[in-house]
């Protein structure tokens, strides 16, 4: 129920739109942060994606995929300096299988893939690393350590 005198809350139409680069035809060199490396963020939760976007806005350019299948499409079309991979992606292929398949793409054998997940048991972390993820970050994400890790890995890549 709306209080008297209050304006209705409007949900932006972009809220339900796919979270990807606005135009697939835009090359990284033509964007406003062209000097920053490109990172693929694979995360099915919109709030988590927005959080990563805020944390890394001055560190890198980002494309977002909400599923493993979408991540595979983006990785096939673009070369990323780093990939941030949620492990539990809901329906479809999970983050481990997505990572395994991306590792087979030309140019991705040594690309850092950071698993971001709530799975924290030692056997889970072992399985994640065996699946091709080079680094592991547990949820909830600590902004300082996460930003430092991403910055350090991107600096090594340049």
CATH code for the structural domain at 35-157: 3.40.50.2300
In sequence order, the 6+-apart residues with CB closer than 8 A to the CB of 147 are 55, 56, 59
- pLDDT, position 157: 67
Element (H, E) at 149: helix 143-157
Write the pLDDT tens digit of every residue in 106-156: 999 999 999 999 888 999 999 999 999 999 999 899 999 999 999 999 998
Element (H, E) at 51: helix 46-56
Q: Could you state, in order of their start, the residue ranges of all structural domains in the chain?
A: 35-157
- pLDDT above 60 for 12: no
- Higher confidence at residue 7 or residue 59? 59
Range list of β-strands (E), the chain: 38-42, 61-65, 82-86, 113-117, 135-138
- Strands of the 38-42 sheet, one edge to the other: 61-65, 38-42, 82-86, 113-117, 135-138
């Amino acid at each position: 129920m709306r209080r008297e005198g209050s304006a209705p809350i409007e949900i932006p139409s972009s809220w339900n739109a796919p979270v990807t680069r606005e135009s697939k035809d835009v090359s990284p060199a033509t964007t406003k942060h062209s000097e920053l490396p490109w990172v693929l963020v694979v995360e099915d939760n919109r709030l988590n994606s927005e959080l990563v976007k805020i944390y890394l806005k001055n560190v890198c350019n980002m494309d977002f995929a909400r599923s493993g299948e979408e991540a595979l499409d983006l990785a096939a079309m673009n070369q990323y300096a780093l990939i941030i991979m949620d492990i539990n992606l809901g329906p479809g292929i999970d983050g481990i299988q997505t990572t395994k398949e991306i590792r087979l793409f030309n140019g991705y054998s040594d690309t850092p893939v950071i698993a971001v997940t709530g799975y924290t048991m030692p056997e889970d972390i072992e399985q994640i690393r065996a699946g091709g993820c080079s680094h592991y970050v547990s949820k909830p994400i600590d902004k300082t350590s996460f930003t430092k890790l991403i910055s350090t890995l991107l600096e090594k890549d340049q």
